[in-house]
Amino acid sequence: MRRSWFLTIAATLGFAFLYAPIISLVVFSFNESSLVTVWSGFSTKWYGALLADPQILGAAWLSLQVAFVAATIAVVLGTLCAVALVRFRRFRGRTMLAATVAAPLVMPDVITGLSLLLLFVAMEGIFGWPAGRGLMTIIIAHATFCMAYVVVVVQSRLTDLDLSLEEAAMDLGATPVRVFFDITLPIIAPALISGWLLAFTLSLDDLVIASFVSGPGSSTLPMVIFSKVRLGVSPDVNALATIIIGFVTLGVVAATLLQRRSRPKHPLP
Amino acid sequence: MSSHDTHHAPPPRPRVWSGVERALAAVGISGKALVIAAPAIWLTVFFLVPLAVVFGISLTIKQFGRPPYTPLLTNEEGTVQLTLHLNNYLRLFTDQLYVAAYLNSAKIAFISTVITLLIGYPMAYVIGRAPDQWRNILLMLVILPFWTSFLLRVYALSGFMRGNGVINQFLALFGIEPLVMMQTDFAVYVGIVYTYLPFMILPLYTNLVKLDGTLLEASADLGARPVRTFLSITLPLSMPGILAGSMLVFIPAIGEFVIPALLGGPGTLMIGRVLWDEFFANTNWPRAAAVAIAMLVVVVIPVMLLQRAQDAMRDKEQAS
């Protein structure tokens, strides 16, 4: 079993590489010194500084609002699009729709951001809407690129779905809309939830697209973090990162435990 | 009264949806058309039209004012004139900066993808072959960074590699001089590998977990050494996973902005960063638009065609 020694060491080093920077960031968030890399004693003062920083709190609130609304729009439109692509086998423009919805997945963020900004500027010049840029334009931009991810998640669930339930409901005289809301929607609900969470996370994480389409006074959390980090290391960003990592860890651990309970053999879809 | 009503069981189900349907049908719109139209209109307005606008503005030139580019259409004494400038595209070819940035982005993305594969493959293999109770934990350890903020992970890495960072403090314990890692191309490679490693491991894992262990045993029983078994069985069978994972790393890496901006030096030329600087630092919107269109033609469209070919191949395999 010499080969498995090699594999074990390689995998251990790989996980160490993934986690060492995160762990050191968490440890130094409790450092007293403002020099982020020299340990000088335990302190939670950076957490206090974080909660007293109106710029970070305001940006966090804006980001949460954007992510909530954008994820919701993305799930509604993405589900409609997935239903159209999976259930309506033939319609004019199907290939076009499939290609267009998949394109944001391979589009570099800088192009998505630039193109939407130029659109908003041109529209403002022609129609007078949107007047200026801010919350609304960031939501539109995020909903557009997140929608592609929702379509992928919902599409794979719809493809696996047993058609006989829907057919039975149709045979019993239910209208297609009724079938969708009473049968299809409850069955694909888990996919909608994972799609929404994915969209929410992607929106909260986006720096590049938001930088293009936001206006003065509407900086999202990643934009504030980026401008702080660009100037050097700042200990309150360490504290903020630790809080975010804490939430993500709780969420992922809870999701893994729930999935293990419902499907003991297969931890992932 | 109520006792009389119960004779009419079962109670009528809500008729809201069929009512909505009838109302729409009366106007001549079918539910099906509406389902298709909603996402199609959204994508047209906020995805296709913007790309057309970018193309239009790439044919103008920078001017001072709002908006900071010359108009495409001008109205002079009743005649509408269309003015197109090709200067931006000519500059892309003649100015060494742009050509070098495109080539360098492709080089950095390619090399990082190969390194990510070399690190991710053994990890995915170990997770795929691990006993059930271990597999869940290891998989969770890969998914966790996947959901954690990308920007914060790049930041964590920069704290790790900087002049007085953890690595150099560790080296100092052995009396080794501090290494200069930040603001170099090396840091950009490490950054891409670090942030995209989970994207490589997950598709590789889904592929390797399905690998039939009896094939490996048969190969070993027939006297093949582990390396031979790997090269002639495991590697060919995991090709779809390798391709999927590599695409997930290469595509975002080539247009990357955050990693070269935070970890790279002033000399780290990558096309995403060049576009950003044209737009934000030089406020040359037409030039940035031309860079975007060139990127679309050189990078995005080939990648989309490649993916389509890959999907078609997979569908064919599944059908046979």
Question: How would you class B53 by CB atoms within 10 Å of its CB: exposed for 0-12, middle for 13-18, buried for 19 or more?
Answer: buried
The pLDDT of A232-236, averaged and rounded, is 76
Calculate how close chain B gets to A245, using CA atoms only, in Å.
6
pLDDT in tens, A172-204: 888 888 888 888 889 899 899 999 999 999 999
Contacts of B190 (CB under 8 A, 6+ apart): B157, B161, B181, B263
Q: Quick one: chain A helix, strand, coil %, rounded to 5?
A: 80, 0, 20
pLDDT in tens, B258-291: 999 999 988 889 999 999 999 999 999 999 999 9
Least confident of A34-38, A145-149, B222-226, B248-252: A34-38
pLDDT in tens, B205-255: 999 988 888 888 888 888 888 888 888 888 888 998 999 899 999 999 999
In a domain, B6, yes or no: no
Least confident of A98-112, A195-209, A211-225, B73-87: B73-87
Whether residues A188 and A242 share a domain: the answer is: no
CB within 8 Å: A115 and B194 = no
Least confident of A10-14, A158-162, B244-248: A158-162
User: What's the confidence (pLDDT) of residue A267?
Assistant: 42
CB within 8 Å: B39 and A101 = yes
- Whole-number Å distance between alpha carbons of B249 and B255: 11
Whether residues A70 and A189 share a domain: the answer is: yes
User: What's the confidence (pLDDT) of residue B159?
Assistant: 84
Nearest-10 Cα torsion for A222, A227, A231, A234? -40
ipTM: 0.89
In a domain, B9, yes or no: no
Question: Which residues form the domain of B78?
Answer: 14-82
Say yes or no to pLDDT of A269 above 80.
no
Whether residues A258 and A157 share a domain: the answer is: no
Whether residues B25 and B57 share a domain: the answer is: yes
The pLDDT of A12-36, averaged and rounded, is 86
Which of A11, A114, A119 lies closest to B123 in CB terms?
A: A11
Whether residues A104 and A180 share a domain: the answer is: yes
In a domain, B175, yes or no: yes
CB within 8 Å: B132 and A77 = no
* Higher pLDDT among residues A10 and A233, named by residue: A10
Give the residues across from B75 on adjacent strands.
B80
**Phi, psi of A206, deg, nearest 5:** -75, 125
CB contacts, 8 Å: A3 with chain B: 226
CB contacts, 8 Å: B257 with chain A: 109-110, 208
Q: Which chain B residue's Cα is nearest to A3?
A: B226
Computed over every residue of chain A, the mean pLDDT equals 87
> What 3-state DSSP class applies to B197?
helix
Which of B46, B119, B226 lies closest to A14 in CB terms?
A: B119
Say yes or no to pLDDT of B305 above 90.
no
Q: What percent of chain A has pLDDT over 90?
A: 47
Q: Which of residues B82, B116, B132 is at a domain's end?
A: B82
In a domain, B316, yes or no: no
Contacts of B90 (CB under 8 A, 6+ apart): none
CB contacts, 8 Å: B292 with chain A: 110-111, 114-115
Closest by alpha carbon to B190, among A17, A208, A231? A17
Whether residues B75 and B109 share a domain: the answer is: no
Whether residues B222 and B116 share a domain: the answer is: yes
The pLDDT of A51-74, averaged and rounded, is 94
Whether residues A100 and A178 share a domain: the answer is: yes
- Are the C-beta atoms of B257 and B274 separated by less than 8 Å? no
Contacts of B227 (CB under 8 A, 6+ apart): none
CB contacts, 8 Å: A88 with chain B: 32, 35-36
In a domain, A142, yes or no: yes
Computed over every residue of chain B, the mean pLDDT equals 86
CB within 8 Å: A229 and B158 = yes
> What 3-state DSSP class applies to A99?
helix
Tally of structural domains, chain A:
2
Whether residues B22 and B155 share a domain: the answer is: no
Whether residues B200 and B116 share a domain: the answer is: yes
In a domain, A269, yes or no: yes
Whether residues B134 and B269 share a domain: the answer is: yes
Q: pLDDT-based confidence at A266, cuts 50/70/90?
A: very low
Could you check whether the bond before residue B286 is cis, i.e. omega within 30 degrees of 0?
no
**Phi, psi of A92, deg, nearest 5:** -65, 130
Whether residues B56 and B108 share a domain: the answer is: no
Whether residues B164 and B47 share a domain: the answer is: no
Whether residues A138 and A267 share a domain: the answer is: no
User: What's the confidence (pLDDT) of residue B3?
Assistant: 46
Q: Which of residues B24, B52, B82 is at a domain's end?
A: B82
CB within 8 Å: B38 and A37 = no
Question: Which residues form the domain of A197?
Answer: 58-232
In a domain, A23, yes or no: no
Cα-to-chain-centroid distance, residue A8 = 32
DSSP B199-234: HHHHHHHHHHTT--HHHHHHHHHTT--HHHHIIIII
Whether residues B166 and B72 share a domain: the answer is: no
According to DSSP, the β-strands at B79-82 and B73-76 are antiparallel
Whether residues A152 and A263 share a domain: the answer is: no
Tally of structural domains, chain B:
2
DSSP code, position B176: P
The pLDDT of B28-56, averaged and rounded, is 88
In a domain, A84, yes or no: yes
Calculate how close chain B gets to A4, using CA atoms only, in Å.
9
pLDDT in tens, B63-73: 887 788 888 87
CB within 8 Å: B295 and A111 = yes
User: What's the confidence (pLDDT) of residue A264?
Assistant: 46
Which of B126, B303, B307 lies closest to A11 in CB terms?
A: B126
- Are the C-beta atoms of A195 and A76 separated by less than 8 Å? no
Say yes or no to pLDDT of A217 above 50.
yes
Which of B50, B151, B254 lies closest to A207 in CB terms?
A: B151
Whether residues A172 and A265 share a domain: the answer is: no
In a domain, A26, yes or no: no
Calculate how close chain A gets to B6, using CA atoms only, in Å.
24
Give the residues across from B81 on adjacent strands.
B74
Q: Which chain A residue's Cα is nearest to B42?
A: A144
Whether residues A162 and A72 share a domain: the answer is: yes
Specify the CATH number for the domain of residue B249.
1.10.3720.10
- Are the C-beta atoms of A30 and A44 separated by less than 8 Å? yes
The pLDDT of A72-101, averaged and rounded, is 89
Sign (positive or negative) of CA dihedral A24, A30, A33, A35: positive
In a domain, A42, yes or no: no
User: What's the confidence (pLDDT) of residue A153?
Assistant: 93
